[in-house]
Chains A and B, each alone.
Chain A
Amino acid sequence: MIDSREKYFLGVDVGSISTNLAVIDNSKELIESVYIRTDGKPVNSVQKGIKMMRDQLGEDLVISGAGSTGSARKLTGVLIGADIVKNEITAHALASLHYNPDVQTVMEIGGQDSKIIIIRNGIVVDFAMNTVCAAGTGSFLDMQANRLEIPIEKFGELALQSDNAVSIAGRCTVFAESDMIHKQQLGHPTKDIIKGLCEALGRNYLSNVGKGKDIRPPIMFQGGVAANIGMKETFEKYLEQEIIVPEHYDVMGAIGSAILAQEDAIKRSKKSNFQSWDISEMDFQTSGFECDGCSNICEIVEIRRNDTLIARWGSRCRKWDLID
């Protein structure tokens, strides 16, 4: 599978819940992917992910370009030496277009963010993300799965077994949770409650994130929550359309980032900035301090690799910035 004449590109997507890595070849085909939990420690999870990727592909594989995306894209970019650091909307759109060039709507629900991307003729024409509220995102489902002691992977299956969804308020996670507890104390079976929750989150997504958007087929549904068949069915019910869940729905961000790296490599004359597969053995230290220059009390973060300072950010006045 590994060809020494072929060029390979790495994409890393570090989100609030999961860290995903993908390696693609020059024709944008996925070679290998890794999906692990971030567990609140992005540095460790990137190192762990790189190590797993190296174990799967072998350290002789040369990376000709690397990209990072996700909410920790800036940090990840510094760690791995990314050539291109891009937001996750662009990354997701590119990955979806690669798997289905006709796609017109991409729905992505991740840990903290949920987004909708409207594509026409292969170009992103509109997008929206959840505003001030995290209702309907992966973190909330995760929390509820924990509370009900159901593995998150089983959540969707269980929802499908029910044909009597209870009504749950999806507007706000606090309301949703109290509704769920109320229904559970009344004696409703868990599967009905879970189905009710999926429907509530689906409604909330469509009326909040999807508000005023022209949702046309083909519709792709991706991100960690797409693993939940209950959610897929909810969307099919409300949108009355077929929902496509791509094969690699959970690493689409990373694939998109790798595609960006591949496109960037064509334009770039320099060699890739990509560190090397030894990232997992390097010693990364992140430390922080509070600047007392003014009453903003900015929290400054410093990142050191083997004791050399490689990046520093966090100050509003930018006096500490050490990047770019």
Chain B
Amino acid sequence: MPLSFPYVGTFTYVFESIARGMKRDDIIVPDEPTYRTKQLGSQHSSEFVCTPFKMLLGSIIEVIEKGAYEIVATVFVDYCRLGYYSPLYQFILEDLGYDFDLINLDWFNKIEFFTSFKKLACNVNAVQAFQAFRVGWIKNRYIDQIDKSLYSYGAVEIEKGASYKVAHKLYRQVVETEGMKNIRMLPEIIQKTFDDEVEIDTEAKPLKVGVVGELYAVVEPAINLDIMRRLNDIGVITETPITFTRWIDLGQRMNPFKKWHYKACIKHAKPYVRYPLGGKTRESLGAVIEYKEKGWDGVIHLYPFTCMPEIISRSILPQVSREHDMPVLSLVLDEHTGEAGIQTRLEAFVDLLERKRNDRNGF
């Protein structure tokens, strides 16, 4: 039965790798979300549901239209409405009369997780399935590495768009590399390709801005209007600490010495919020302090319109920003495609950071 999944930023490549590793040759790779995806999603969802819900629904409908039957809907649940995503998709898609099987990979519900996982891995035995998953989490590290290089080389590249091209070539290469020995070579290849193929301006002194906020809003360029690339275009190095590594990378999770960025953030956020509130509330708050300590210049906080947890962070952020003297820009995202508003705010924010830096350096 054709297998597919909704498109979620560059994580899509990891997913494709895992499915390939499980010898599923009937995968339907989702397309990048477009204007049509947004429209499809909002047409069939309730008005005030989170924007990521709508986008993912649109993406699921698009893969069903392409012939998918088994669909991996969510990988984990949270304290917010994310927990309702899957059951709601089930209802909505049934009402629309589609023929499908929604697979839930809910890590917190171990029994369900393993039954679903077994369904996915119907072509291989348990050891092979685990191996495929392991390859997946290792490749995820390299995908993250490409993302990180892309958004730092992109800020200082001489020929505009060069790093973007290189990154897209490398994503494919990571997905297609087979055999653990070859996979282990990837980090070097990635570094070398960026070094060789992207000519950078060594004189530039780029500002550095961290992007935090709600998971989907941060990782999916289709909803955040490609904010990281926009920052690159105005000469700002950027990165996001929010990736899927923390959930799927069992190798790093079992390593007691691994320093997790998000854990440090949560610790920083303790004076403001002590309990998990869903989403990335505590992480968004703590990241402001974490980036300040790392010597970065500012933080951009993204949240989808009506996202419950991030609305909480948005109201506490001004206080954190003031107390730690770290500029923060909160941006709310929805279906709108009017880019002028976002561009104005970004440019003004970067101007502010630049003047602040010059002032500090005594120019």
Contacts and interface: CB of A to CB of B under 8 A. Distances in A.
Does B bind A? yes
Interface stretch (A184-192, A290-298, A301-309): A290-298
B75 to A, nearest CB: 26
B35 interface: yes
A132 B307 CA distance: 13
Interface stretch (A52-60, A119-127, A149-157, A276-284): A119-127
A207 B31 CA distance: 41
Nearest to B35: A296
A324 B332 CA distance: 29
A125 B356 contact: yes
B46 interface: no
Contact of A318 (B161, B322, B334, B349): B161
B326 to A, nearest CB: 11
Given A90-B348, A212-B315, A212-B319, A295 B356 contact: no
Given A124-B352, A212-B318, A88 B34 contact: no
A132 B334 contact: yes
Bin the interface of chain B by size: 20 to 34
B359 interface: yes
Contacts of A212: 315, 318-319
Interface in B307-349: 315, 318-319, 321-322, 327, 332, 334, 336, 340-341, 343-345, 347-349
B355 interface: yes
A71 B349 CA distance: 16
Interface of B: 31, 34-37, 160-161, 226, 305, 315, 318-319, 321-322, 327, 332, 334, 336, 340-341, 343-345, 347-349, 351-352, 355-356, 359
Interface string A65-79: 000000100000000
A86 interface: yes
Contact of A71 (B332, B344, B347): B344
B164 to A, nearest CB: 9
Nearest to B322: A214
B318 A211 contact: yes
B285 to A, nearest CB: 14
Interface of A: 71, 86-90, 113, 123-127, 129, 131-132, 211-214, 294-297, 316, 318, 324
A88 B344 contact: yes
B334 to A, nearest CB: 6
B352 A127 contact: yes
B316 to A, nearest CB: 9
Contact of B344 (A87, A126, A296, A316): A87
Given A87-B351, A89-B351, A123 B359 contact: yes
A123 B318 contact: no
A129 B344 contact: yes
A210 B349 CA distance: 17
Contacts of A71: 340, 344
Contact of B36 (A86, A113, A295): A295
B318 A89 contact: no
A90 B318 contact: no
Given A125-B352, A318-B161, 19 more contacts: A71-B340, A86-B351, A89-B351, A113-B344, A126-B321, A126-B327, A127-B349, A132-B334, A211-B315, A211-B318, A212-B318, A213-B318, A294-B34, A295-B31, A295-B34, A296-B36, A297-B35, A297-B36, A324-B160
25 contacts: A71-B340, A86-B347, A87-B343, A87-B344, A87-B347, A87-B348, A88-B344, A88-B348, A90-B348, A90-B351, A123-B356, A123-B359, A124-B348, A124-B351, A125-B356, A127-B352, A129-B341, A132-B332, A213-B318, A214-B322, A295-B34, A295-B37, A296-B36, A297-B36, A318-B161
